[in-house]
């Protein structure tokens, strides 16, 4: 009897001090027409000390087109932290849609192990537009004919001539200045994108921003360096894309396989700091710098591969 009582007390203490997290998913309706915009929300409630990553929606959104991924919204309900991930999606066929539980990654305390919690499944129906075959086919209205206004035509011609004359004058003036120059300055050769990125990371590391309390500036700078590196290295507009769109573009390439997992975790953590006002622990700040170096070094072209230490010494 005493043993059962002690076991009960032990389990109760674990439940009291355990860090809890739960996730739910829902849409704004259960019925839609083909092509309608569907508002889908993943809501995660968690205790302090838990680091939440973006939901892993890639494999679960079958037959669903993602229109927009909104910035996470941080709330607080009944003493718990709440983050809402909102998506606008659409379906272009009539069918009953069943989305299985969406996995959400998270870490607890100083534990670096990535765990997952699943949301509830979501079910909704997409209908076609109702057609009434008994109604007569209506003729298309004839195009409206707009009478020609010669005064407006003359005005447009005068504007075009004025613009052309101004452009010609500016061109002649610019050409004259070029001809008057005796020396032509040679532009310095552009550094490879990986050298620029590594130099910028090294400079950011020396500034010690997060150690001085400027955590958000640190994460904004390090994320911009990596996104700009993706633009120059892989020719994709990473500075204008969301994390989900960047990952989708990278997965379409053959030379980014080694960095996909690291990049997704790197960008997700940066999004939490930037949009959800998440305050990361020092170890996470160090890990972000380590991951940034790995992303660049693992994508250096083979014929130009150089270690980080050599580049630092050269700088």
Q: CATH number of the domain at 113, please.
A: 2.60.40.740
**Domain encompassing residue 54:** 19-127
214 and 105 co-located in one domain: no
Q: What is the pLDDT of residue 64?
A: 86
Distance CA 38, CA 31 (A): 10
48 and 107 in contact (C-beta within 8 Å)?
Answer: no
Q: What is the pLDDT of residue 6?
A: 45
| CB neighbour class for 159 (10 Å; exposed up to 12, middle 13-18, buried from 19) | exposed
Q: Please check whether residue 62 lies inside any domain of the structure.
A: yes
* Token digits of residue 41: 């929300």
199 and 303 co-located in one domain: yes
Q: What is the pLDDT of residue 146?
A: 73
* Contacts of residue 8, Cβ cutoff 8 Å, sequence gap at least 6: none
Q: What is the pLDDT of residue 303?
A: 63
Question: pTM value?
Answer: 0.40
| Domains held by the chain: number | 2
Q: Please check whether residue 136 lies inside any domain of the structure.
A: no
122 and 61 in contact (C-beta within 8 Å)?
Answer: no
Distance CA 288, CA 276 (A): 17
Q: Please check whether residue 177 lies inside any domain of the structure.
A: no
Q: What is the pLDDT of residue 141?
A: 63
Q: What is the pLDDT of residue 15?
A: 41
Q: Please check whether residue 163 lies inside any domain of the structure.
A: no
N- to C-terminal Cα separation, the chain: 71
Q: What is the pLDDT of residue 41?
A: 92
Using alpha carbons, select from 270, 306, 284 the residue that is nearest to residue 196: 306
- Please say which residue of 92, 109, 127 terminates a domain: 127
Say what the alpha-carbon torsion angle 105, 108, 110, 111 is, to the nearest 10 degrees.
-60
Other beta carbons within 10 angstroms of residue 116's beta carbon come to: 15
Q: What is the pLDDT of residue 272?
A: 83
104 and 203 co-located in one domain: no
Distance CA 221, CA 207 (A): 11
Q: What is the pLDDT of residue 228?
A: 94
What are the two backbone dihedrals, phi and then psi, of residue 118, each rounded to the nearest 5 degrees?
A: -100, 145
121 and 229 co-located in one domain: no
Distance CA 176, CA 199 (A): 40
Q: Please check whether residue 35 lies inside any domain of the structure.
A: yes
- Please say which residue of 93, 127, 161 terminates a domain: 127
Distance CA 86, CA 55 (A): 10
213 and 302 co-located in one domain: yes
Q: Please check whether residue 173 lies inside any domain of the structure.
A: no
Say what the alpha-carbon torsion angle 111, 248, 195, 295 is, to the nearest 10 degrees.
20
Q: Please check whether residue 175 lies inside any domain of the structure.
A: no
Q: Please check whether residue 237 lies inside any domain of the structure.
A: yes
Using alpha carbons, select from 182, 161, 160, 164 the residue that is nearest to residue 172: 164
pLDDT tens per residue across all 315 residues of the chain: 545 544 444 444 444 345 688 889 899 999 999 889 999 898 888 888 888 888 888 767 777 888 888 999 888 888 788 989 898 988 888 888 888 888 988 888 888 888 889 889 999 898 887 666 666 666 556 667 777 778 888 888 889 999 998 998 888 888 777 766 544 445 557 889 899 999 999 999 999 888 888 888 888 899 999 999 999 989 989 899 999 999 999 999 888 888 999 999 999 888 887 776 667 778 888 898 999 899 999 999 876 554 444 444 444
- What length does the chain have? 315
- Please say which residue of 99, 127, 155 terminates a domain: 127
């Amino acid at each position: 009897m005493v043993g059962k009582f002690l076991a009960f007390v032990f389990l109760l203490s674990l439940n009291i001090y355990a860090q809890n997290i739960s996730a739910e998913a829902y849409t704004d309706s259960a019925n839609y027409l083909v092509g309608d915009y569907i508002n889908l929300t993943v809501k995660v409630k968690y205790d302090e000390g838990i680091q939440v990553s973006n939901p892993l929606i890639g494999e679960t959104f079958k037959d669903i087109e993602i229109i927009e991924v909104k910035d996470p919204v941080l709330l607080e309900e009944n003493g718990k932290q709440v983050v809402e991930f909102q998506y606008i999606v659409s379906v272009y066929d009539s069918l009953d849609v069943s989305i299985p539980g969406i996995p959400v990654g998270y870490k607890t305390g100083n534990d670096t192990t990535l765990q997952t919690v699943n949301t509830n499944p979501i079910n909704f129906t997409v209908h076609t537009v109702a057609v009434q075959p008994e109604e007569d086919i209506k003729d298309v209205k004839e195009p409206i004919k707009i009478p020609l206004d010669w005064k407006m035509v003359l005005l447009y011609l005068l504007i075009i001539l004025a613009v052309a004359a101004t452009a010609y004058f500016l061109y002649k003036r610019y050409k004259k200045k070029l001809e008057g120059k005796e020396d032509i300055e040679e532009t310095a050769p552009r550094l490879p994108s990986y050298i620029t990125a590594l130099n910028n990371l090294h400079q950011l590391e020396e500034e010690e921003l997060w150690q001085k309390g400027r955590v958000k500036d640190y994460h904004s700078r390090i994320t911009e360096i990596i996104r700009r590196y993706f633009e120059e290295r892989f020719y994709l507009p990473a500075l204008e894309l969301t994390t989900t769109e960047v990952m989708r573009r990278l997965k379409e390439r053959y030379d980014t396989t080694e960095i996909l997992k690291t990049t997704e975790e790197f960008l997700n953590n940066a999004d939490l700091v930037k949009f959800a006002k998440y305050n990361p622990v020092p170890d996470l700040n160090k890990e972000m710098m380590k991951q940034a170096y790995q992303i660049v070094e693992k994508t250096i072209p083979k014929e130009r591969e150089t270690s980080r230490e050599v580049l630092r010494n050269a700088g």
